[in-house]
Amino acid sequence: MKNILFVALGGAIGSSLRYIISTTSLFLTGPLMIWRTFLVNIIGSLLIGFFIAFFLNSEGNNNFRIFLIFGILGGFTTFSSFAMESLNLLREGELKIAISYILATNILGILAAAIGFYFYKLLFESFFS
């Protein structure tokens, strides 16, 4: 039950941060609005990779790990918005944009997670080992 509360609290924070970015990214308007979700998902993937490496290399608090990764970053990134936006692009006949968006989000999301993971290792394991 305690873990659920950590996820719920973190999720509220992460979802709020995503909402703030989605509503204040004024330079991404009109057809570019889908890239707000893209930006959030790539940043979230980078941070998830970084913090997974952090928690693998530390005896950090498991409650904080759950709060941060599953709560904040899980609430911050959003597969449901990505799926909805992809479906809308397909329904509107924007096949090239939909395919670009789907591929870029998946490929760059995984790449960003790997970069975050290895950045942590390079930064902290190189200097503090």
Residue ranges per domain, the chain?
2-122
- Grade residue 110 by pLDDT with cuts at 50, 70 and 90: very high
Q: Which stretch of 18-22, 51-55, 91-95, 102-106 has the lowest confidence by average pLDDT?
A: 18-22
State pTM to two decimals.
0.79
**pLDDT at residue 14 tops 90:** yes
DSSP string of 47-75, one letter each residue: HHHHHHHHHHTS---HHHHIIIIIIIIHH
Burial readout 61-81 (b: 16 or more C-beta within 10 A, e: otherwise)? eeeebbbbbbbbbbbbbbeeb
Beta strands in the chain (DSSP E): none
Q: For 27-70, write each residue's pLDDT tens digit.
A: 666 666 778 888 888 999 999 999 999 998 777 788 999 999 99
Tokens linked to 81: 């918005």
